[in-house]
Chains A and B, each alone.
Chain A
């Protein structure tokens, strides 16, 4: 069993100044998202539509995967299937070895993080350079990303300056983001021009056309894959969408939810490899089919990895992504990881104040906080819960089993949030405050949500 979230979060939380800085940085991104969402009258319609498209795709997943394989093959791509992460790593290694690749550039892909592909390739003597600036920073620091969209959000510019001074020879003490970004641009241009192959993730795979779509702001994916002969795209099988026109819905939601942009700078559609090149697409399962069999959790497969649930989560913002010890942190990570490996990650569903803000912002309407509660129950039933959380859990489950009591306590809670001075809420004496900032009064309360979703039987 890994060390639990509270233990892993301690150092981060104890550095109060830094925790506050992290919190503020993410709240800033959350606010940008709100402005974008507010600018479209059809926002809720888009979310609903996106959710239905994903549900539809999941209901006919086998057919869509086969259609995708057929179309992609007709386009000249080669489709590979991997049931486990080690299979994916093997396939990628063999492909790279077939062109004697030793220097590989990669653009952001949480999936290859999930497979620990870099480490695997390093053992085979293949050097992989992450080319997204944030990912490059964490790679140079020998860390893992702390956020799925903003990989280096936990890092200060002074630290980046020091890192670049040591490894790229920038001026000592330089902290100007413009200057540091320029240094990275020069450094990575070298890598792009000398790469033997490129690896990318996939944001969307289109069954109808056999194409894949990759979204970036930096342009690293497009440069990376268009220079060397080989492009290997790695995707989870849940990335499939039925039609090209479905992209209109997802491209409108993704960047607005992720960073508060109306679209990413590059939304790149690859149907054929570059002239004279090869395009390989590896489809990974790694437990996704098992997740798909769980009625209460399966919607988590709709996730488009926008990161909005992290930016809004009071626990994530104040404890940092690394405290989750997972590839995907935050609310969605707290659903996915314990579902796939309950023993290792059983503390994560409790890294949550059940404020419901994650479900409110999720562009594909995953009922995250409801799922977290479900997983809490199964962890508790399995007896895998640390003693210190037991009492509060018992209280919580007592309250949640009795809707009238929830109604009452939620009302009290809202008043208390508004009336309690900040120093009490965040005092170090307050154990809950340590890992759990009390949320801003939620827009749509869990209570309302619970009623809407047929939970009124207890009254």
Chain B
């Protein structure tokens, strides 16, 4: 046997060893506390959209409201604000998809503005679910200097319970709740916006 093969055999044993150690100790049966994943009694907001906006601003995002027809204008305004560098977008209303075409995800490092749409937003914490279903390189969401996320006002839910309930049957290869621009407080607890990920987050809430 080669060294690699010996190691592999050793590991199969580790797997069985670990499982046997677990099975050797029977713990009291505790039933799962949630029926169908539902937690009753979680907070609900009278004004979900308003709460979402408040949460978004408190995590350092900017929120723009518009109807379906004017998403494009807001997108162009944002791109203009951040200068003339490379931009790309997927799933923004009224724009043709124009994603990165290079095979290498490293190409995303040139992005100045990246825009895409989120599936839902969460009022309690301004988290927006974004998946890589339509996106060429998932890293674009983080590696771009500035991120723009479009969501429908109707897709905003109260809390994380409602959010995961909606995602229950979705099996995204990669999906991420994004709440605000990247940040850190690792130097003396001083909040700095713009750590490794996007420096800014603009949220376009589409009404109607």
Contacts and interface: CB of A to CB of B under 8 A. Distances in A.
A271 B176 CA distance: 11
Interface in A59-115: 59, 61-62, 65-66, 75, 80-83, 87, 90-91, 94
B172 A181 contact: no
B190 interface: yes
Interface string A261-287: 111111111111011000000010100
A222 B186 contact: no
A246 interface: yes
Q: SS class of chain A's interface: helix, strand, loop or mixed?
A: helix
B99 to A, nearest CB: 13
Interface of A: 25, 28-29, 40-42, 45-46, 48-49, 52-53, 55-56, 58-59, 61-62, 65-66, 75, 80-83, 87, 90-91, 94, 131-134, 137, 150-153, 155-157, 160, 177-178, 180-182, 185, 188-189, 192-193, 209, 217-220, 222-223, 226-227, 237, 242-249, 251-252, 259, 261-272, 274-275, 283, 285, 289-290, 292-293, 298
Nearest to B201: A265
B206 interface: no
Interface string B83-117: 00000000000000000000001100100000000
B18 A270 contact: no
B191 to A, nearest CB: 8
B62 interface: no
Contacts of A91: 11
A53 B39 contact: no
B42 to A, nearest CB: 5
B142 A263 contact: no
B37 A248 contact: yes
B185 interface: yes
Given A62-B19, A151-B186, A227-B105, A268 B14 contact: no
B137 A226 contact: yes
| B interface: dominant SS | loop
Contacts of B172: 269, 271
A239 to B, nearest CB: 14
Contacts of A65: 18-19, 22
A133 B182 CA distance: 12
The number of chain B residues touching the other chain, given as a range, is: 35 or more
Contacts, number: 255
A226 B106 CA distance: 9
Interface in B155-177: 159-161, 163-165, 167-168, 171-177
Contacts of A157: 187-188, 190
Nearest to B187: A177
18 contacts: A53-B34, A59-B29, A178-B192, A182-B194, A189-B196, A218-B184, A262-B55, A262-B126, A263-B122, A263-B160, A265-B181, A265-B197, A267-B127, A268-B175, A269-B172, A271-B174, A271-B175, A274-B139
A209 B18 CA distance: 21
A83 B17 CA distance: 8
B177 A218 contact: no
B180 interface: yes
A266 B178 contact: yes
Contact of A188 (B139, B185, B196): B196
A427 to B, nearest CB: 28
Contacts of A28: 189
Contacts of B41: 41-42, 45
